Amino acid sequence: MDVGARIIVRGLVQGVGFRYFVLRHASTLGLSGYVQNTYNGDVEIEVEGSRSLVEELIKEVKAGPRSAHVSDVKIEWKSPEQSFHGFEIR
């Protein structure tokens, strides 16, 4: 069963390749959605796919790439909109 999630990642997550890290893992897992930087220094991820795969991505996001420092991850579960085609950086 598919789920949707909005994930907000806080910490040193901009300028360290974080979006490309998320793109690579989400694409490998076959998830759809997007990742983008926000004006306040966070990274926002909208993702849809099977719950176990979304949870796998969340586990990766909490660790982050080596050059990042993740201080907080907020997750809001929701119904999938199925409006995404693949995964992209915005």
In the set 37, 51, 66, 90, the catalytic residue is 37
Distances in whole angstroms, Cα of residue 84 to Cα of each of 25, 80, 90 = 16, 10, 12
Query: How many CA atoms are closer than 13 Å to the CA of 71, on its beta-carbon side?
Result: 7
Q: Is 40 a residue of the active site?
A: no
Q: Is 37 a residue of the active site?
A: yes
In one-letter notation, the amino acid at residue 66 is: R
- Helix ranges (H only) for 1-90 are 18-29, 51-63
Where in the sequence numbering do the catalytic residues fall? 19, 37
